[in-house]
Structure 1
Amino acid sequence: MAESAREMAVKARAASRQLQALPSEQRVAILNRIADSLLEHEAAIMAENAQDVEAATGKVSDALLQRLVLKHNKIQQLADGIRAIAKQEEPVGRLLSRLEVAEGLVLDKVTSPIGVLLIIFEARPDALPQIASLAIRSGNGLLLKGGKEATRSNALLHKLIVDAVAEVAPGVGRDLIGLVTSRDEIDELLRLHDVIDLVIPRGSNQLVSYIQQHTKIPVLGHADGICHIYVDAAADMDKARRICVDAKVDYPAACNAVEKILVHESLAGDKLDSLVKALQEAGVTLHGGERAAATLGLPAAPSARHEYSSLDCTLELVSGLDQAIDHIHTHGSGHTESIITEDQAAADDFLRRVDSACVFHNASTRFSDGYRFGLGAEVGISTARIHARGPVGVEGLLTTRYLMRGTGQTVEKDKGVAYTHRQMPLA
C-alpha cells in the first residue's frame, strides 16, 4: 500500500533530526552531489520534461505551460544555485546572542530548522530541486506535492535528489524528502497541522488563496504578483523604455513581471508615445487605466487590480509621486515595485514609503528573485509581514532556540538567584 502523506511527514521529521546532527561538511557534500547529479542526468531530465510539456499542451493555460517548460540553460542555473547555497555560511546552530542570566548561568540563542515543510506547487519542476536544496541546507524535512502536469519531471528530479542524500548520508536516507504521488487531495494535506510546520504554496493566485483559507498550518507566500513601475517626471526615458520592456517581456508569466506601468502626466506626448511604441514593438498588448484609456484611446483594463501573467500590461497616468504611491498601496499586492527617475530625492522617498516586499530604483522588477539576490535559490516570494518577506532563502526556513548552561541553579521563587542579565561576547 502506498505510504500516506502523514507517514511521510513523520519520517521526514525523523530524517531531518538526523540531518541536523551531521557536520556541516557532510550537508555541503549532499548539495554538491545533487548539483553534479542534475548535470549528469540533464538529457534524461529534459526528455521527461518534454513529455510533460507535450501532454499538457492545449490542456493548460499558456502561463502554466511557460512555468512547466525547463529551458536548455535551466539545469546549469539550478546546479550553480545549489552550489551557491552550499557555499553559504553554516546556517544551523549559529549563535545569535549570549546572555549571562546569573553568575554561572548562560543563555544562548541559536538558529534552528523549522521542522517539516510542505510545498504545494503547480508546474514549475525547477522549483523542486531549489526547494529541496534550501531545505537540506537549513536542516528541514520536506513534503512535496507537485501538479499532475509535471509528474514525469518531478519524479525524476525527486529520485536524483533522494539518491544523492542516501549516497552521501545513508543515516539520513531517502525519507528526508517525500514526494506525494498518491491521490491525496490538497485538503487532506492541509489538515496535517500536527505533523507539518509550514506550508509554502507556489502557483496561481487561486491555488495560493485557497491554501491560505483552508489550513491551520502557517502559510508563507503570496497570492498575487501585481508589480508596478512608476515612470517619474524626471525619468531618463531610455532607461524607462529598456526597464519597462524587460520587466514585462523577459518572462511574462513570472510573479515578478510588471503588470502596471504608472506614468507621470507631464510625460504625455512624445516621451509617453516612445514608451508605448517600445512596449508594443516588443509584443506587449497595452490596456488603459481609467485616465489612460480616455487619454490614449487604449482598451480598458479588466480591473484596477489585475495580474495578466502574459504579454499584456496596464498603463495609467498619475499626477505625481504621491498619487503613484497611493495607487500602488490601493491596487497592488505588496510584491515588487520600481521607480524610474533621475531625481534622487524622489527615489529615496519612493523607497522609504512604498510598503512592498521589494522596492527598486532604476531597475527591472525581474530582479526580485532568490537566485538574483544571491540566495542561491528561493522557496518562494513572501508578501507576508511575519517571519520572512521577499525572496525566501535559507534564512527564511530557520527559527530560533534557546540553550541554557548552568552550574546547579534553581529558581526558588527568584529568591535564590541574583540576575545579572549581562550581554556576553559571541566568541
Structure 2
Amino acid sequence: MAQSHAEREMAVKARTASRALQALRSEDRVAILNRIAESLEQHEQHIMAENALDVEAAGGGKVSDALLQRLILKPSKIQQLADGIRAIAKQEEPIGRLLSRLEVAEGLVLDKVTSPIGVLLVIFEARPDALPQIASLAIRSGNGLLLKGGKEAMRSNALLHRLIVDAVAEVAPGVGRDVIGLVTRRDEIDGLLKLNDVIDLVIPRGSNELVSYIQNNTRIPVLGHADGICHIYVDAAANLQQATAICIDSKVDYPAACNAVEKILVHDSLQGQPLESLVKALQDAGVSVHGGERTVAALGLPAAPSVRHEYSSMDVTVELVSGMDEAIEHIHANGSGHTECILTDDQAAADDFLRRVDSACVFHNASTRFSDGYRFGLGAEVGISTARIHARGPVGVEGLLTTRYLMRGKGQTVEKDKAVTYTHKALPLS
C-alpha cells in the first residue's frame, strides 16, 4: 500500500504542478525552455561523464549493440538537443489557441480552444536524449510528466532530470520540481499503469515487448508504436545512383533507429546488373544483405529471418516485386505503418504511392531517416505514433494537446429549448 500511495502522490503532484504550468504566461514557459537549453550546454562535460559511466556499465555484451548505440551521447547530440529545445521555445503559443468560434444563439458564443492533455507517463528504453526532448515538449504544451527511463541510462537520466527540474524551479518557483517526476524503479510501472484517474496518456518508446505489455496492462490510453518496419520501394523508373544513396543512408545513418529501412522492395525489371549493383553498394557500406524468397534464389543471399522482421542493426532485407501494386500490398501486409518510401522519377507513380500507402509517413525520393520530430521542424518528438487516434507520425507539441469549449453568455437558460432560437452561425476567429 505504501508503494501504491507513493506512486499516486507523484502523479497527483505532477497534475497540480501542470495546472500551475498552464497558468503561466507563454513567455515564462519559453524562459524555462531557454534556461534548460543553456543548462545542457553548460553541463555538457558532466553529462558526457555520467553517460560514459552508463555506457561502460552496459558494455561487455550486457546489452545488444542496437541498445548500446541508443545509449551513447555525443557532444553533437547535446548541442542538437539544445537547438531543438530553443526551436520548441520559438513555436507559436500552443495553449488556448482559438480553433473555432460559433454563435449558438443570439448573445451566446462558443469557442473551441487548444488545451493540455494533463499528465503524461512516458516509458522509454536506453535513449537518454529522449528525456530532455520529452520534458521540453511537455513544458511547452503545459503537461505534467512522469518519466521512466531504462536502467542502462540511470546516471544520464538522473542528471538530465535534475538539470531540467532545477531550471523549472529557478524560472517558475510556483510550478516547482514536481511537474516532471522521474520514476526510478521498474516495479513502480505497474502501480502507475493503474492510475487512470490521474494519468491521462501513456507513451511507451521501446521494444515490441514493452509496448505490448503496456497496452495489455492499463486502462489509460496508449500512444506510440510497437514496431518500426520501414520499407523502400525502388521503382522501374528510379534514378539508380540516387536510389542507391538513399537506400544506404536509410540504413547506415542510424541502423538502430525506428525510422531506419528494414526492407527494400525492387521492381523486377531491375533484376540483373542494377539489383546486383544495389546489393553490392549496401554490402560495401557494411550492411549485411538478406534475401526475400525471390532474391535468395536470384542472388544466393542468406534468407531473411521472416517476411516481417525488424533488424535494428546493419542488416536489411532485399526482395523483388512485380510492380507498385505488389509493393503496396506487401507493405500493408508486412509493415508497421511507420514510414515508407518510393524511389522513382515517375511523378504519377510517386503521387499514386503517396496517396495509396496507409502509413504515418510516406516519402518520395527521400531517406526514411527524415521521419523525425526534429527534422520535421517540431523541435523534438515525444515519440512516433502509428496509431490513428489522436496523433500520427512524429508527435510534437501539437500531439500533446486536446481541446476545450468555452461558452460566454448573457444569462440564457435552456428551458427545454423553448426559449432559445439556435443560430449556429460560424463567427470569424479574430
Give CA deviations for 1:268-324 in whole Å, capped at 9, x if unaligned.
111111101110000000111111111111111110000000000000000000000
From 10, 15, 27, the counterpart of 1:8: 10
Correspondences of 1:137-286 after superposition (within 5 Å): 137-182=140-185, 184-286=187-289
Percent of pairs with identical residues:
84
Q: 3-state SS of the aligned residue for 2:372?
A: coil
Q: 3-state SS of the aligned residue for 2:75?
A: coil
Correspondences of 1:41-80 after superposition (within 5 Å): 41-57=43-59, 58-80=61-83
Deviation, structure 1 residue 5: 2.1
Letter of the 2:421 partner, please give it.
A
Does structure 2 retain, via aligned residues, the 8 Å contact 1:114–1:398? Answer: yes
C-alpha distance in 1 between matches for 2:183 and 2:276: 51
Deviation, structure 1 residue 167: 0.3
Q: 3-state SS of the aligned residue for 1:391?
A: strand
From 295, 298, 301, the counterpart of 1:298: 301
C-alpha distance in 2 between matches for 1:345 and 1:208: 38
C-alpha distance in 2 between matches for 1:47 and 1:33: 21
Superposition TM-score, scaled by structure 1 size = 0.99
The answer for unaligned runs of 5 or more in structure 1 is: none
C-alpha distance in 2 between matches for 1:182 and 1:389: 30
Give the 3 Å change call, closer, same or farther, for CA 350–183 of structure 1 in structure 2: closer
In the alignment, does 2:397 pair up with 1:394?
yes
C-alpha distance in 2 between matches for 1:194 and 1:212: 17
Does structure 1 retain, via aligned residues, the 8 Å contact 2:44–2:75? Answer: no
State the partner residue of 2:379: 376
Give CA deviations for 1:233-267 in whole Å, capped at 9, x if unaligned.
00000011100000000000000000000000000
State the partner residue of 1:18: 20
State the partner residue of 1:416: 419
Deviation, structure 1 residue 183: 5.2
Q: How many residues align?
A: 427
Deviation, structure 1 residue 394: 0.2
Deviation, structure 1 residue 6: 1.4
Give CA deviations for 1:86-115 in whole Å, capped at 9, x if unaligned.
000000000000000011100000000000
C-alpha distance in 1 between matches for 2:276 and 2:103: 66
C-alpha distance in 2 between matches for 1:262 and 1:406: 60
Q: 3-state SS of the aligned residue for 1:135?
A: helix
C-alpha distance in 1 between matches for 2:181 and 2:7: 8
Alignment RMSD: 1.0
Does structure 1 retain, via aligned residues, the 8 Å contact 2:98–2:111? Answer: yes
Deviation, structure 1 residue 190: 1.3
Q: 3-state SS of the aligned residue for 2:369?
A: helix
In the alignment, does 2:315 pair up with 1:312?
yes
In the alignment, does 2:86 pair up with 1:83?
yes
C-alpha distance in 2 between matches for 1:207 and 1:348: 36
C-alpha distance in 1 between matches for 2:193 and 2:21: 25
C-alpha distance in 2 between matches for 1:267 and 1:243: 17
Letter of the 1:47 partner, please give it.
A
Deviation, structure 1 residue 187: 2.0
C-alpha distance in 1 between matches for 2:140 and 2:300: 53
In the alignment, does 2:33 pair up with 1:31?
yes
Superposition TM-score, scaled by structure 2 size = 0.98
C-alpha distance in 1 between matches for 2:373 and 2:186: 32
C-alpha distance in 1 between matches for 2:231 and 2:320: 13
Deviation, structure 1 residue 72: 2.2
Does structure 1 retain, via aligned residues, the 8 Å contact 2:7–2:188? Answer: no
Q: 3-state SS of the aligned residue for 1:4?
A: helix
Does structure 2 retain, via aligned residues, the 8 Å contact 1:100–1:107? Answer: yes
Does structure 2 retain, via aligned residues, the 8 Å contact 1:351–1:360? Answer: yes
Does structure 2 retain, via aligned residues, the 8 Å contact 1:5–1:184? Answer: no
C-alpha distance in 1 between matches for 2:75 and 2:95: 34
C-alpha distance in 2 between matches for 1:4 and 1:131: 23
Relative to structure 2, which stretch is displaced further, 183-192 or 146-155?
183-192
Deviation, structure 1 residue 186: 2.5
C-alpha distance in 2 between matches for 1:196 and 1:413: 37
Give CA deviations for 1:6-64 in whole Å, capped at 9, x if unaligned.
11110000000001111100000000000000000000000000000000112111111
Q: 3-state SS of the aligned residue for 2:114?
A: strand
Does structure 1 retain, via aligned residues, the 8 Å contact 2:119–2:201? Answer: yes
